[in-house]
Amino acid sequence: MELFDYTVLRLIWWALLGILLIAFAIMDGFDFGIAMLQPYVARNDVERRVLLNVIGPVWEGNQVWFILGGGAIFAAWPMLYAVSFSGFYLAMFLILLALIVRPVAIAFRGKVDNERWRRIWDWTFVVSGFVPSLIFGVAFGNLLLGVPFHFDQTLRLTYEGNLFGLLNPFSLLCGLISLLMIAMQGGTFLALKSEEPIAGRAVKATSVAAIAYILLFTVAGVWMAYSIKGYVIEAPMISDGPSNPLLKAVSRADGAWLANYTSHPWTILAPVVAYIGALGTLIFARKRSTMLAFAVSSLTITGTICTAGFSLFPFLMPSSSNPQSSLTVWDASSSPTTLFIMLVAAVIFVPIIIAYTSWVFHVMRGPVTAEQIKTGSHNLY
């Protein structure tokens, strides 16, 4: 058990939370991306049905990572869960609403042979990909700015913000970066799983998204470095201490979000991987190396999320209204027993999920063609 003391367990679950977020963004990200790209890549009813059948066998399974991520936050980081679902309640509601209407749009679209009916559900499908992709990016932007919440001495939570307060310029920039990142993921997967002319349009969309991503990711980095005050813990924290965020002193300082890149130089790999992934996506997509394009697009997602995580560490959710109330890896977790039991469960069940998911993608390998849709073979919608 010495390998799993409280400090190590907290670090493991911080890393696992990041892994689950990355897995969700990679797997469900291409579903969202394909939905967003539908108006451009699909020009008629058959092509729209191709898109639905590309994701049809896998989209439900991809949402497992979202459920796992939410469960991990609830059980491993209960204070983070409480603040997130209180402060971001309306934003979370919009995400859940989008996730609810997506399967409705997919399933209902073909129930009535009417062009207007199909158009309504087609645009519902587009919105169901756009909204979560934007809001998740906006949420990460607000984490870097600080969230307006605080605790009293009995740890009762007060949140002072609102939905429109989350839509500030920097967070909207982060939302655009998220949209572009997810569009790249959707475009590369669609190019992999479809034929011309859909694949060619997907490659063009991916190329534009990759170039825009590189530019906006750079702008966000410069903005964060020179115009946004980060958070600093003023004295060394006890990493295996009680989960009470009020037992520390926190201040704000210019350039504080870059401190980890100086003290731990290896963390610079995260933004480097993000840039390499985006450039690789642009190159491989244009060369029609679709499998490689999808792989390096996934690296872009990994590098982007890791960049945010490494910048924030050890903070999980900084507080702008009372920095002392900020939640960190060291003071917002569940008990050691809970973290250990959850770790055992994760070690058992996550490999099973990965194995099953891999089997599904193996069985459903190969492109979805317009001919299959027209003849009614091998299609769901």
Determine the Cα–Cα distance for residues 345 and 355; give it in Å rounded to an integer.
16
pTM, two decimal places: 0.93
Q: Model confidence over 90-112: pLDDT tens digits?
A: 888 999 999 999 999 998 988 88
Token couple for 308: 């945010």
Q: What is the pLDDT of residue 317?
A: 95
Per-residue pLDDT, 377: 61
- CB-CB contact of 115 with 128 (8 Å): no
pLDDT digit string, tens, across residues 302-340: 999 999 999 999 999 999 999 999 999 999 999 999 999
Q: Residue 280 domain-assigned?
A: yes
Q: What is the CATH number of the domain that holds 164?
A: 1.20.1630.10
Structural domain boundaries, residue 115: 2-375
Q: Would residue 381 count as lying in a domain? A: no
Count the domains in the chain: 1
pLDDT band at 252 (very low <50, low <70, confident <90, very high): very high
User: Among residues 241, 239, 233, 259, which one has the least CA distance to residue 323?
Assistant: 233
Residue 68 counted as domain residue:
yes
Mean pLDDT of the chain: 92
Residue 293 is assigned to a structural domain of this protein? yes
Whether residue 380 lies inside any domain: the answer is no
Nearest-CA neighbor of 51 among 195, 181, 206? 195
Pairing relationship of beta strands 157-159 and 327-328 according to DSSP bridges: unpaired
- 43 domain residue, yes or no: yes
The reported pLDDT for the residue numbered 366 is: 87
Dist. CA 268–CA 221, nearest whole Å: 12
Query: Distance between CA 72 and CA 19 in Å, rounded?
Result: 11
